Amino acid sequence: MNEKQVTEQLFNMLSSNLDTIECEKEMAKLLNDYCCHLVSQTIERLDDEMVGQMTSNGYKIDRKDERTVHFLFGSVTYIRRRYIDLANKLGFYPVDYHLGMFKHKKYSPLVMARVAELATKMPYRACEEAISILTPLKISFNTIRNLVLKTDKLISNYKEYHEQLEDEKTEQEELLSNKQKRKVPILYLEGDGLDLFMQDRNFPRKTLHRYLVHEGTQPITRSRNKCVNMYQSADFNRKTAYQDMFKYLRTNYDLTDTIIITNSDNGSGYTYNVFYELTLGCKNHEHFVDKYHVNEKLIQRMSFCKEMIPRAKRMINRWDESERNAIIKEMLLIADNIKDDEQRQKALEDCYRLRGYLSRNWKFIKPIAERELGVNMNGIGVSESTHRPFSYRMKRQGRTWKKKGGNAIAHIISEKKNERFDDVFDFEWQLTLEKKELNEKAYERNIRAIVRTLLRLESEEAHEGVRKGRVPKEILNKLPDTGVVNYGCWNM
What are the two backbone dihedrals, phi and then psi, of residue 253, each rounded to the nearest 5 degrees?
A: -130, 145
pLDDT at position 3, please? 83
Contact partners, residue 209, CB within 8 Å, separation at least 6:
191, 193, 234, 235, 236, 237, 238, 241, 242, 269
pLDDT, residue 352, reads 94
Per-residue model confidence as pLDDT tens digits over 13-26:
888 887 888 888 89
Higher-pLDDT residue of 438 and 255 is 255
Q: Which residue has the higher pLDDT, 173 or 204?
A: 204
Taking residues 67-92, what's their average pLDDT?
A: 89
Give pLDDT, residue 307. Answer: 93
> How does pLDDT run across 162-171, given as a tens digit for each residue?
888 787 777 7
Q: How high is the mean pLDDT of the chain?
A: 86
pLDDT score for 441: 60
| Band (175; pLDDT cuts 50, 70, 90) | confident
Give the three-class secondary structure for 219. strand
pLDDT of residue 487: 41
pLDDT of residue 492: 40
In this structure, how many other beta carbons lie within 10 angstroms of the beta carbon of residue 77?
Answer: 13
Closest CA relative to residue 69, chosen from 80, 53, 83, 58: 80
The yes-or-no verdict on residue 415 having pLDDT over 80 is yes
For residue 296, what are the CA distances in angstroms to 265, 300, 416? 10, 6, 31
Closest CA to 211 of 232, 186, 225: 232
Instruction: Give yes or no for residue 322 having a pLDDT over 60.
Output: yes
If you average pLDDT over residues 31-53, what whole number do you get? Answer: 93
Q: Are the CB atoms for 373 and 286 separated by under 8 Å?
A: yes
Residue ranges covered by each domain of the chain: 1-106, 184-386
Provide mean pLDDT across the span 333-359: 93
CB 148 within 8 A of CB 127: no
Q: Binning pLDDT at 50, 70 and 90, where does residue 479 land?
A: low
Mean pLDDT computed over 451-470: 59
Q: How confident is the model at residue 245 (pLDDT cuts 50, 70, 90)?
A: very high
* pLDDT at residue number 41: 94
Give pLDDT, residue 167: 79
Reported confidence tier of residue 490, pLDDT bands at 50, 70, 90: very low
Residue 71 has pLDDT above 60, yes or no: yes
Instruction: Kindly state the average pLDDT of the residues 471-492.
Output: 56
Judge residue 227's burial from the number of C-beta atoms within 10 Å of its C-beta, 0-12 exposed, 13-18 middle, 19 or more buried.
Answer: buried
More confident residue, 334 or 478: 334
pLDDT value of residue 85: 82
Residue 429 has pLDDT above 80, yes or no: no
